[in-house]
Structure 1
Amino acid sequence: MKINWGTGIVIAFVAFISFIMYFIITMSTDAKYDFDLVTEDYYGQELEFQEDLNKEEHSKTLKTNITWKKTEDGINLVFPKDIDFKNIEGKVFLYRPSNKQFDFEIPISLSNHNLLIPDKRLLGGRWNITVDWTYNTESYIYKTEITY
Protein backbone atom coordinates (compact mmCIF):
# COMPACT_ATOMS: atom_id res chain seq x y z
CA MET A 1 0.00 0.00 0.00
CA LYS A 2 1.35 3.36 -0.99
CA ILE A 3 0.77 6.40 1.28
CA ASN A 4 0.53 9.76 -0.43
CA TRP A 5 1.82 12.97 1.14
CA GLY A 6 -1.63 14.10 2.39
CA THR A 7 -2.14 10.86 4.31
CA GLY A 8 1.39 11.15 5.73
CA ILE A 9 0.67 14.64 7.07
CA VAL A 10 -2.57 13.49 8.71
CA ILE A 11 -0.77 10.52 10.31
CA ALA A 12 2.00 12.85 11.55
CA PHE A 13 -0.57 15.24 13.07
CA VAL A 14 -2.48 12.41 14.77
CA ALA A 15 0.77 10.93 16.13
CA PHE A 16 1.91 14.31 17.45
CA ILE A 17 -1.45 15.09 19.08
CA SER A 18 -1.52 11.60 20.63
CA PHE A 19 1.99 12.13 22.00
CA ILE A 20 1.05 15.47 23.58
CA MET A 21 -2.24 14.14 24.99
CA TYR A 22 -0.41 11.20 26.58
CA PHE A 23 1.86 13.57 28.52
CA ILE A 24 -1.00 15.87 29.53
CA ILE A 25 -3.05 12.99 30.91
CA THR A 26 -0.03 11.43 32.63
CA MET A 27 0.99 14.69 34.31
CA SER A 28 -2.51 15.52 35.51
CA THR A 29 -3.45 12.08 36.89
CA ASP A 30 -0.21 10.63 38.26
CA ALA A 31 0.33 11.38 41.99
CA LYS A 32 4.09 11.48 41.40
CA TYR A 33 3.64 14.75 39.48
CA ASP A 34 1.23 16.27 42.00
CA PHE A 35 1.72 19.92 42.90
CA ASP A 36 0.34 22.10 45.66
CA LEU A 37 -0.70 25.70 45.59
CA VAL A 38 1.40 28.00 47.72
CA THR A 39 -1.62 28.70 49.89
CA GLU A 40 -5.30 27.86 49.79
CA ASP A 41 -6.44 31.35 50.81
CA TYR A 42 -4.24 33.36 48.48
CA TYR A 43 -6.39 36.51 48.36
CA GLY A 44 -6.94 36.56 52.11
CA GLN A 45 -3.19 36.47 52.68
CA GLU A 46 -2.68 39.20 50.10
CA LEU A 47 -4.80 41.52 52.24
CA GLU A 48 -2.57 40.79 55.26
CA PHE A 49 0.58 41.56 53.27
CA GLN A 50 0.66 45.29 54.14
CA GLU A 51 0.31 44.46 57.82
CA ASP A 52 3.31 42.12 57.52
CA LEU A 53 5.31 44.88 55.80
CA ASN A 54 4.52 47.20 58.72
CA LYS A 55 5.67 44.54 61.19
CA GLU A 56 8.91 44.05 59.25
CA GLU A 57 9.59 47.80 59.31
CA HIS A 58 8.88 47.82 63.04
CA SER A 59 11.30 44.90 63.52
CA LYS A 60 14.08 47.05 62.09
CA THR A 61 13.77 49.37 65.11
CA LEU A 62 14.99 46.61 67.45
CA LYS A 63 18.61 46.73 68.61
CA THR A 64 18.95 43.05 67.67
CA ASN A 65 16.48 40.89 65.81
CA ILE A 66 15.78 37.19 66.20
CA THR A 67 18.65 34.90 65.23
CA TRP A 68 18.71 31.16 64.71
CA LYS A 69 21.23 28.38 65.18
CA LYS A 70 21.18 24.80 63.98
CA THR A 71 21.86 22.46 66.92
CA GLU A 72 21.83 18.71 67.49
CA ASP A 73 18.31 18.94 68.95
CA GLY A 74 16.85 21.06 66.15
CA ILE A 75 16.67 24.75 65.34
CA ASN A 76 17.17 27.19 68.19
CA LEU A 77 15.52 30.60 67.75
CA VAL A 78 17.15 33.25 69.93
CA PHE A 79 15.02 36.27 70.80
CA PRO A 80 16.65 39.65 71.58
CA LYS A 81 18.38 39.67 74.98
CA ASP A 82 17.51 43.31 75.71
CA ILE A 83 13.77 42.60 76.12
CA ASP A 84 11.89 40.67 78.79
CA PHE A 85 11.09 37.24 77.37
CA LYS A 86 8.07 36.85 79.70
CA ASN A 87 6.15 39.47 77.69
CA ILE A 88 6.75 37.81 74.32
CA GLU A 89 3.75 36.11 72.71
CA GLY A 90 3.07 34.83 69.23
CA LYS A 91 3.56 31.87 66.94
CA VAL A 92 6.18 30.28 64.72
CA PHE A 93 5.04 28.96 61.34
CA LEU A 94 7.24 26.56 59.41
CA TYR A 95 6.36 26.25 55.75
CA ARG A 96 7.68 23.48 53.54
CA PRO A 97 7.53 24.69 49.89
CA SER A 98 7.77 21.18 48.44
CA ASN A 99 4.86 19.65 50.40
CA LYS A 100 2.19 21.44 52.43
CA GLN A 101 1.52 18.31 54.50
CA PHE A 102 4.71 19.00 56.47
CA ASP A 103 3.78 22.60 57.37
CA PHE A 104 3.23 23.22 61.07
CA GLU A 105 2.79 25.99 63.58
CA ILE A 106 3.92 26.19 67.19
CA PRO A 107 3.06 28.80 69.81
CA ILE A 108 5.85 30.81 71.40
CA SER A 109 6.35 29.62 74.95
CA LEU A 110 9.64 30.82 76.43
CA SER A 111 11.43 30.00 79.68
CA ASN A 112 14.47 32.01 78.53
CA HIS A 113 15.30 33.87 75.32
CA ASN A 114 15.52 30.62 73.30
CA LEU A 115 12.84 28.61 71.49
CA LEU A 116 13.74 25.14 70.24
CA ILE A 117 12.05 23.65 67.19
CA PRO A 118 12.58 19.89 67.65
CA ASP A 119 14.63 17.95 65.13
CA LYS A 120 12.01 15.17 64.89
CA ARG A 121 9.53 17.58 63.23
CA LEU A 122 11.99 18.77 60.58
CA LEU A 123 12.80 16.87 57.43
CA GLY A 124 15.86 17.62 55.38
CA GLY A 125 15.35 20.31 52.76
CA ARG A 126 14.18 23.90 52.51
CA TRP A 127 11.97 25.52 55.15
CA ASN A 128 10.52 29.02 55.33
CA ILE A 129 10.24 30.18 58.95
CA THR A 130 7.94 33.02 59.97
CA VAL A 131 7.97 34.22 63.58
CA ASP A 132 4.97 36.49 64.20
CA TRP A 133 5.35 37.90 67.70
CA THR A 134 4.31 40.72 69.99
CA TYR A 135 6.11 42.39 72.84
CA ASN A 136 4.19 44.83 75.04
CA THR A 137 1.47 45.35 72.37
CA GLU A 138 4.08 46.05 69.64
CA SER A 139 3.93 43.61 66.71
CA TYR A 140 6.99 42.21 64.98
CA ILE A 141 7.66 39.61 62.30
CA TYR A 142 10.81 37.71 61.39
CA LYS A 143 11.09 35.71 58.17
CA THR A 144 13.94 33.53 56.99
CA GLU A 145 14.62 30.61 54.69
CA ILE A 146 16.79 27.74 55.84
CA THR A 147 17.99 24.48 54.41
CA TYR A 148 17.98 21.81 57.07
Structure 2
Amino acid sequence: MNWGHKIIIVFVVFAAGIITLVTKSMRTKIDMVTKDYYAEELKYQQVIDGKVNARDLSAPISISQQSEGITVTFPQELHGSNLSGKIKFYRPSDAAMDVEMPLILNNDGRQMINRQLFSKGNYLVKVQWENQGKPFYQEASFHVN
Protein backbone atom coordinates (compact mmCIF):
# COMPACT_ATOMS: atom_id res chain seq x y z
CA MET A 1 0.00 0.00 0.00
CA ASN A 2 1.49 3.35 -0.98
CA TRP A 3 1.39 6.57 1.03
CA GLY A 4 -1.52 8.01 -0.99
CA HIS A 5 -3.83 5.19 0.12
CA LYS A 6 -2.74 5.70 3.75
CA ILE A 7 -3.64 9.40 3.58
CA ILE A 8 -7.07 8.57 2.17
CA ILE A 9 -7.67 6.01 4.98
CA VAL A 10 -6.69 8.63 7.61
CA PHE A 11 -9.13 11.16 6.09
CA VAL A 12 -11.94 8.57 5.99
CA VAL A 13 -11.36 7.56 9.62
CA PHE A 14 -11.25 11.24 10.66
CA ALA A 15 -14.48 12.00 8.79
CA ALA A 16 -16.19 8.96 10.36
CA GLY A 17 -15.08 10.14 13.81
CA ILE A 18 -16.42 13.66 13.22
CA ILE A 19 -19.75 12.28 11.95
CA THR A 20 -19.99 10.05 15.04
CA LEU A 21 -19.32 13.00 17.39
CA VAL A 22 -21.87 15.20 15.63
CA THR A 23 -24.49 12.43 15.77
CA LYS A 24 -23.89 11.82 19.49
CA SER A 25 -24.01 15.52 20.32
CA MET A 26 -27.30 15.96 18.43
CA ARG A 27 -28.88 13.14 20.45
CA THR A 28 -27.66 14.36 23.84
CA LYS A 29 -30.46 15.75 26.00
CA ILE A 30 -29.69 19.20 27.41
CA ASP A 31 -31.77 20.38 30.38
CA MET A 32 -31.58 24.01 31.36
CA VAL A 33 -32.19 25.04 34.96
CA THR A 34 -35.30 26.86 33.82
CA LYS A 35 -36.89 27.30 30.42
CA ASP A 36 -37.31 31.04 30.89
CA TYR A 37 -34.01 31.87 32.56
CA TYR A 38 -33.96 35.53 31.48
CA ALA A 39 -37.27 36.35 33.17
CA GLU A 40 -36.15 34.42 36.26
CA GLU A 41 -32.94 36.45 36.39
CA LEU A 42 -34.91 39.69 36.37
CA LYS A 43 -36.92 38.52 39.41
CA TYR A 44 -33.83 37.41 41.36
CA GLN A 45 -33.98 40.43 43.70
CA GLN A 46 -37.13 38.87 45.20
CA VAL A 47 -35.10 35.73 45.96
CA ILE A 48 -32.40 37.80 47.66
CA ASP A 49 -34.99 39.66 49.77
CA GLY A 50 -36.70 36.35 50.58
CA LYS A 51 -33.44 34.80 51.83
CA VAL A 52 -32.83 37.79 54.11
CA ASN A 53 -36.38 37.56 55.52
CA ALA A 54 -36.09 33.78 56.02
CA ARG A 55 -32.89 34.25 58.04
CA ASP A 56 -34.87 36.40 60.50
CA LEU A 57 -37.19 33.47 61.38
CA SER A 58 -36.66 31.58 64.65
CA ALA A 59 -35.68 28.40 62.75
CA PRO A 60 -35.25 27.32 59.16
CA ILE A 61 -37.75 25.12 57.36
CA SER A 62 -37.01 21.46 58.03
CA ILE A 63 -37.45 18.66 55.51
CA SER A 64 -37.63 15.04 56.58
CA GLN A 65 -38.69 11.76 55.04
CA GLN A 66 -40.73 8.97 56.53
CA SER A 67 -42.00 5.79 54.95
CA GLU A 68 -45.27 7.43 53.83
CA GLY A 69 -43.83 10.65 52.43
CA ILE A 70 -41.71 13.74 52.76
CA THR A 71 -42.64 16.33 55.37
CA VAL A 72 -41.86 20.03 55.09
CA THR A 73 -42.17 21.74 58.49
CA PHE A 74 -42.30 25.51 58.96
CA PRO A 75 -41.12 27.38 62.10
CA GLN A 76 -43.51 27.91 65.02
CA GLU A 77 -44.22 31.59 64.33
CA LEU A 78 -45.69 30.71 60.91
CA HIS A 79 -48.14 28.08 62.18
CA GLY A 80 -51.70 29.09 61.42
CA SER A 81 -50.58 31.92 59.12
CA ASN A 82 -52.16 32.39 55.73
CA LEU A 83 -49.11 31.60 53.59
CA SER A 84 -49.09 31.43 49.82
CA GLY A 85 -46.24 30.03 47.81
CA LYS A 86 -44.74 26.96 46.24
CA ILE A 87 -42.32 24.14 46.90
CA LYS A 88 -40.05 22.92 44.13
CA PHE A 89 -37.94 19.80 44.31
CA TYR A 90 -35.34 20.49 41.61
CA ARG A 91 -33.47 17.47 40.25
CA PRO A 92 -30.20 18.70 38.69
CA SER A 93 -29.59 15.48 36.77
CA ASP A 94 -32.98 15.32 34.98
CA ALA A 95 -35.57 18.08 34.59
CA ALA A 96 -38.31 15.48 34.00
CA MET A 97 -37.95 14.42 37.67
CA ASP A 98 -38.61 17.91 39.07
CA VAL A 99 -41.63 18.13 41.40
CA GLU A 100 -43.41 21.44 41.99
CA MET A 101 -46.54 22.04 44.05
CA PRO A 102 -48.40 24.82 45.82
CA LEU A 103 -47.81 25.43 49.50
CA ILE A 104 -50.72 23.98 51.52
CA LEU A 105 -49.91 23.72 55.23
CA ASN A 106 -51.95 22.04 57.94
CA ASN A 107 -52.55 23.68 61.35
CA ASP A 108 -49.20 22.37 62.62
CA GLY A 109 -47.31 24.20 59.88
CA ARG A 110 -46.54 21.01 57.95
CA GLN A 111 -47.06 19.75 54.44
CA MET A 112 -46.86 16.05 53.62
CA ILE A 113 -45.82 15.13 50.08
CA ASN A 114 -46.45 11.68 48.63
CA ARG A 115 -43.24 9.71 48.29
CA GLN A 116 -44.41 8.16 45.01
CA LEU A 117 -43.74 11.48 43.23
CA PHE A 118 -39.98 11.11 43.72
CA SER A 119 -37.20 8.97 42.39
CA LYS A 120 -34.24 8.10 44.59
CA GLY A 121 -31.48 10.68 44.40
CA ASN A 122 -30.45 14.23 45.19
CA TYR A 123 -32.80 17.18 45.00
CA LEU A 124 -32.48 20.87 45.68
CA VAL A 125 -35.59 21.96 47.57
CA LYS A 126 -36.62 25.54 46.82
CA VAL A 127 -39.38 26.92 49.05
CA GLN A 128 -40.76 30.32 48.13
CA TRP A 129 -43.65 31.86 50.06
CA GLU A 130 -45.24 35.12 51.05
CA ASN A 131 -46.63 36.07 54.46
CA GLN A 132 -48.47 39.38 54.90
CA GLY A 133 -46.94 40.77 51.71
CA LYS A 134 -43.40 39.89 52.76
CA PRO A 135 -41.43 37.47 50.51
CA PHE A 136 -39.53 34.50 51.95
CA TYR A 137 -37.20 32.02 50.24
CA GLN A 138 -35.16 29.04 51.41
CA GLU A 139 -33.11 26.40 49.61
CA ALA A 140 -31.83 23.11 50.98
CA SER A 141 -30.19 20.02 49.57
CA PHE A 142 -32.14 16.83 50.13
CA HIS A 143 -31.54 13.17 49.34
CA VAL A 144 -34.51 10.86 48.75
CA ASN A 145 -33.82 7.25 49.73
Aligned AA for 1:24?
V
After superposition, the Cα gap between the structure-2 partners of 1:84 and 1:38, relative to the gap in structure 1 and judged at 3 Å, is closer
3-state SS of paired residue (1:59): helix
Report the equivalent of 2:57: 62
List alignment gaps of at least 5 residues for structure 2: none
* TM-score after normalising by structure 1: 0.85
When the two chains are superposed, the root-mean-square deviation of aligned CA atoms in Å is 1.8
* TM-score after normalising by structure 2: 0.87
Report the equivalent of 1:104: 99
Out of 125, 140, 145, which is 1:144 matched to?
A: 140
Q: 2: distance between equivalents of 1:70 and 1:84?
A: 20
Report the equivalent of 2:2: 3
Report the equivalent of 1:116: 112
Higher relative contact order (CA 8 A, sep 6+): 2
Aligned AA for 1:3?
N
List alignment gaps of at least 5 residues for structure 1: none
Report the equivalent of 1:15: 13
1:39 equivalent in alignment to 2:38: no
Q: 2: distance between equivalents of 1:130 and 1:85?
A: 21
Q: Deviations over 1:50-69 (max 9, x none)?
A: 22011111111111121111
Report the equivalent of 1:127: 123
Aligned AA for 2:115?
D
Q: 2: distance between equivalents of 1:55 and 1:26?
A: 42
3-state SS of paired residue (2:77): coil
Are the aligned partners of 2:89 and 2:98 in contact in 1 as well (CA < 8 Å)? yes
Q: Deviations over 1:69-118 (max 9, x none)?
A: 12111211110012333322211112222222232321111222111111
